[in-house]
Amino acid sequence: MQDINMIRNVALFGHGKCGKTSLAEALLFTAGKTTRFGKVDDGSSVMDFEPEEIQRNLSISSSFNNFTWKKHTTFLIDTPGDDNFINEAKYATRVADSAVFIVEAAQGIKFQTEKIAGYVKDAGLPSIIFLNKMDKERADFDKAVDEIKSRLPQEAAVCYMPIGAEENFKGAVDIIKGVAYLFGKDGKIKETDIPDDMADEVEMALEQLMEQVAETDDDLIEQFLEEGELSKKDLIQGLKKAVQAGTLCPVIPGVATANMGTELLLNAINEYLPSPQDKAGQIGTHPQTEDLVEMSPFADAPFSALVFKTMADPYAGRLTIFRVFSGTLSGDSFYNAGKDTNERFNQLFLLEGKEVKPVDSAGPGMIVALSKLKETVTGDTLCTKENPVVYDGLDPIAPVMSFAVTTSKKDDEDKLFSSISRMLEEDPTLSLTRQSQTREILLAGVGQVHLTVLGERIKRKFGVEMELHVPKVPYMETIKGKARVQGKHKKQSGGRGQFADSWIEMEPLPSGGGFEFVDKIVGGSIPRQYIPAVEKGIIEAMEKGVIAGYPMVDVKVSLVDGSFHAVDSSEMAFKISGSLAFKKAAQEAKPVLLEPIMNINIQVPKECLGDVIGDLNGRRGKVMGMDSGDKAEILTAQVPMAEILEYAPDLTSITGGRGTYSLEFSHYEELPSQMAEKVIAEANKEN
């Protein structure tokens, strides 16, 4: 086992296509982990290896690797930045010790950047900011730094200044050491003198950095005010302390695809980011007593780890990925505290892109995997039975977009749904439900791209086609009036006949009243043994309604009279009689369609609020309230489900990808008559 002080656990964060995976490739290559500099654009990346990722030039799930640089070993997590897969980044903040944040020098801060920066800040991760794509047109270092300071919760501390810009970008000045570096093609740096025309600028930047660092420490601010400067040693130590406290984030300029600035970043990871031992111990609860338990981040402490990802593979089985927080896992078993069970395993693996490397043990800071575990799933805590602990589970992003899911071949249905079940283990942002009114199976995810990619992966891994359709709206039917009718069933066709006669009264119940059946039979006009059959016939008829085939709700039916035949009456006859009576009464009692109304909670930038409200009004929505956050307006509204089945791409379009929303069912309301006519006509056409 390596000295824990020499271990780093770092996740790469940033919006989609900002260059995270390219930076991961550059780090691996410069550190000598890989012999070839993998490129995302030509599909040779070590970290993006799934066919769906190569096809889209886009990370879909977190990938893992490790490298050693100057005797320090870093365990690396490359996270997706696209909104459809952002849950992977959120989970990574739970298990990483620190972050490298990638920001584009030309495009600056996008909404996803702010969102992910919020996750990083909430998790209290010490961070370094890599200002990428300094060679692009309109790349502006100073402007980008100002934007970071104004829009991200992390405070940028400029430690390196770029030499040149756009196509002339060629190196960086180390403000603290007072030297310049030119970038070579192999990622290595060559020390040189600071350009004469940058001397004054570098001096000003050093003063500002000293001031920023001094302000984070009472002793340093006193020294700075007395002497007007900090020594190099105090500056470096003060900066390290401020970075690890999450107060300051060093900024390093570079170009990931050209492997420029990578060595500076590798040095900064070793110098400023914490080892597992620099972090506080993880707090969990004792599974029996529920007392708080702190697990010490040392190799000789009791073992504990958190499972944060599961990967389904048709050949290797389930791959369970976890972060070790304390102690050392070796041997062939562990204790799952949440499930109160011991699990055995054959081999422990390090993940290196798509490859796995067997290891004998794993200690604090390491990200490792086990295959074919039976009980353990994402969110579980692994530990020892002698020192049990349960860590807080992971809180996935709620799915917002649902599609009805089918397969083109009827024979493949079982295979499809077993495949989806396997993928549900891998991706907690998915949910699978059955809609009883429409009889559709609904698959919900974070967005349409999310579910489309899922379909591609299921086809590749399990050989079954998944088709997505806009789901049907689960309308209901009810009545607004009253009716008294007779339901008479009489059949004579040789042999024993069938006879049943039921009189019912029907009236509406308040919304949410469901169904009420009242037996008002007196004098034995219908024998007692047949009355449940009448109710059963009514309930079965309610399932298909009378105007569009949707279930009927909020109805009270009273059985008030009837007659029977001593020989020809039976339970079946009275069941048919009850059904006939119900259908007849429902037609006379002013039947109407009800539509589901959803509560929607929308977060949008202040400047987009008017457009979003206007769009909601066009969808028959009602704004219920507004609240102002730091940078976003929070809008609550009620809107018919039929109007927001495909809301996600529309909100993205209106807000430039900066809006998010969540949905939950609220209640049913009567559908306006002109819209009801269309729904009824459509339903009759299908039937």
Distance CA 355, CA 365 (A): 20
Sheet holding 355-359, edge to edge: 341-344, 333-336, 381-383, 304-313, 317-326, 367-371, 348-352, 355-359
Residue 335: other Cβ atoms inside 10 A = 21
User: Which CATH code, of 1.20.1440.130, 3.90.1640.30, 3.90.226.10, 3.30.70.870, is assigned to 402-469?
Assistant: 3.30.70.870
Rounded to two decimals, the pTM is: 0.81
Domain with CATH 3.30.230.10 in the chain: 477-589
Residue type, 454: L
**What is the mean pLDDT of the segment spanning 7-34?**
92
**What is the mean pLDDT of the segment spanning 511-537?**
92
pLDDT of residue 60: 79
Q: What is the mean pLDDT of the chain?
A: 90
Residue of 186, 10, 82 whose CA lies nearest to 452? 82
Distance CA 205, CA 212 (A): 10
Domain with CATH 3.30.70.240 in the chain: 594-686
Domain with CATH 2.40.30.10 in the chain: 282-383
For residues 405-417, b (16+ Cβ closer than 10 Å) or e, as one string? bbbeeeebeeebb
Residue 621: other Cβ atoms inside 10 A = 22
Whether the predicted pLDDT of 321 surpasses 80:
yes
- CATH code given to domain 477-589: 3.30.230.10
Distance CA 641, CA 191 (A): 63
Residue type, 295: M
Of the given ranges (44-58, 290-304, 569-583, 590-604), which has the lowest mean pLDDT? Answer: 44-58
Contact 60, 80 (CB under 8 A): yes
Using pLDDT thresholds of 50, 70 and 90, give the confidence band for residue 1.
low
Cα dihedral angle (663, 666, 670, 675), rounded to 10 degrees? 0
- CATH code given to domain 594-686: 3.30.70.240
Residue of 143, 128, 53 whose CA lies nearest to 96? 128
Residue type, 116: I
Distance CA 67, CA 60 (A): 22
Residue of 548, 542, 589, 553 whose CA lies nearest to 677? 548
Using pLDDT thresholds of 50, 70 and 90, give the confidence band for residue 630.
low
User: What kind and span of H or E run contains 12?
Assistant: strand 7-13
SS3 293: strand
**What is the mean pLDDT of the segment spanning 568-589?**
94
Q: What is the 3-state secondary structure (H, E, C) of 533-586?
A: HHHHHHHHHHCCCCCCCCCECCEEEEEEEEECCCCCCCHHHHHHHHHHHHHHHH
Distance CA 370, CA 437 (A): 42
pLDDT of residue 141: 94
Q: How many CA atoms lie within 13 A of 673 on its CB side?
A: 2
Bigger pLDDT: 64 vs 603 = 64
Of the given ranges (39-48, 142-151, 675-684), which has the lowest mean pLDDT? Answer: 39-48
| The CATH fold of domain 282-383 | Elongation Factor Tu (Ef-tu); domain 3 (2.40.30)
pLDDT of residue 313: 66
Domain with CATH 3.30.70.870 in the chain: 402-469
Using pLDDT thresholds of 50, 70 and 90, give the confidence band for residue 129.
very high
Whether the predicted pLDDT of 263 surpasses 70:
yes
Using pLDDT thresholds of 50, 70 and 90, give the confidence band for residue 552.
very high
pLDDT of residue 328: 94
Residue type, 11: A
Maximum alpha-carbon separation in the chain? 116
- Determine whether 339 is exposed, middle or buried from the number of CB atoms within 10 Å of its CB (0-12, 13-18, 19+): middle
Whether the predicted pLDDT of 339 surpasses 60:
yes
Residue that the structure tokens 């599974």 belong to: 287
**What is the mean pLDDT of the segment spanning 15-41?**
88
pLDDT of residue 593: 95
E strand map for 254-396? 282-285, 292-295, 304-313, 317-326, 333-336, 341-344, 348-352, 355-359, 367-371, 381-383
Backbone angles phi and psi of 17, in degrees to 5: 65, 25
Distance CA 202, CA 160 (A): 9
Class of domain 4-278 as given by CATH: alpha beta
Whether the predicted pLDDT of 412 surpasses 90:
no
Cα 10–Cα 16–Cα 19 angle in degrees, nearest 5: 60
SS3 288: coil
User: What kind and span of H or E run contains 71?
Assistant: none
Whether the predicted pLDDT of 371 surpasses 70:
yes
Domain with CATH 3.40.50.300 in the chain: 4-278
Distance CA 104, CA 19 (A): 8
**What is the mean pLDDT of the segment spanning 69-86?**
91
pLDDT of residue 316: 62
Q: How confident is the model over 133-190, as pLDDT tens digits?
A: 999 999 999 999 999 998 888 899 999 999 998 999 999 999 999 999 999 877 789 9
Using pLDDT thresholds of 50, 70 and 90, give the confidence band for residue 663.
confident
Contact 381, 306 (CB under 8 A): yes
pLDDT of residue 307: 94
Can you name the residues that pair with 604 across neighbouring β-strands?
Answer: 633
pLDDT of residue 64: 94
Of the given ranges (210-214, 308-312, 379-383), which has the lowest mean pLDDT? Answer: 308-312
Residue that the structure tokens 């402490």 belong to: 301
